[in-house]
Amino acid sequence: MSTIASTSRRTAAGLIAGHSGPSLIASSRTPALSPARSSSTASRPPLELTLALLKPSVCAYQPDISTILRSIKTSGLSIARSRRLFWTSADAHAFYAEHRGRFYYDRLILGMISGPSLALALCGPGAVKEWRRMLGPTKAYKGKYTDESCLRARYGLGDTRNGFHGSDGQESAKRELGLVFDGWDAEWWLQREMGQLPTDQGGSVNPLGF
């Protein structure tokens, strides 16, 4: 659903305007990592991409955004792409279609269209699992008892307004990243980062893949 990504063409930098330190976020059109081309590439752990959403309830308070971005940086995850989203009802319905019919569905949709969200493509070894570890339990109140340092315990407001979204697996991450970032080919990007794209006889990467 290209409408999800096309809702806003502005980068997420607007959500952290006024941050006095060095930039914590990459441009939505510029990967955060540089392609590796050395012989050591084979020894690098395999990279993953995952979609992270900071929901409107979190994005309403800018100092929280800066703190969360620092936490991401400290975790070792990199921000490959970012986008500020202003979802319509249709966008939210398309993204959360698998939840349709659940008792919380209407509240979830209303929460997602109540203001801007921040979408991040996070990259790193085991990125899916690491981001979900940082988030903590889906129900924010459980996090307050099991791990007070997790993001949902710190910033979540309730079961539905838990502040964040994280892809639940690599396949769903690819699908969700494609929805949010204009059909972005996450698989191709990962192959490029790991130096696994086919090359021509001169060693240059062949963008056509053969």
Per-residue pLDDT band at 205 (split at 50, 70, 90) = low
Pick the closest to residue 69 from 54, 86, 91 (CA basis): 54
Q: What's the total number of domains in the chain?
A: 1
CB-based contact 121:80 (threshold 8 Å): yes
Residue 187 corresponds to which tokens in the numbers above? 């698989």
Question: Is pLDDT larger for residue 184 or for residue 29?
Answer: 184
The reported pLDDT for the residue numbered 162 is 92
Specify the 3-state DSSP secondary structure of 116. coil
165 has catalytic annotation: yes
Distance CA 186, CA 69 (A): 21
- The residue-averaged pLDDT of 160-165 equals 91
Q: Is residue 170 part of a domain?
A: yes
- The alpha carbon torsion through 37, 49, 16, 34 (nearest 10 deg) reads 0
Pick the closest to residue 181 from 46, 63, 53 (CA basis): 53
Residue with tokens 């979900």, as numbered in its chain:
132
Question: Is pLDDT larger for residue 175 or for residue 7?
Answer: 175
Q: CATH no. for residue 179?
A: 3.30.70.141
Q: Which domain holds residue 179?
A: 45-127+160-193
Catalytic residue among 19, 93, 99, 165: 165
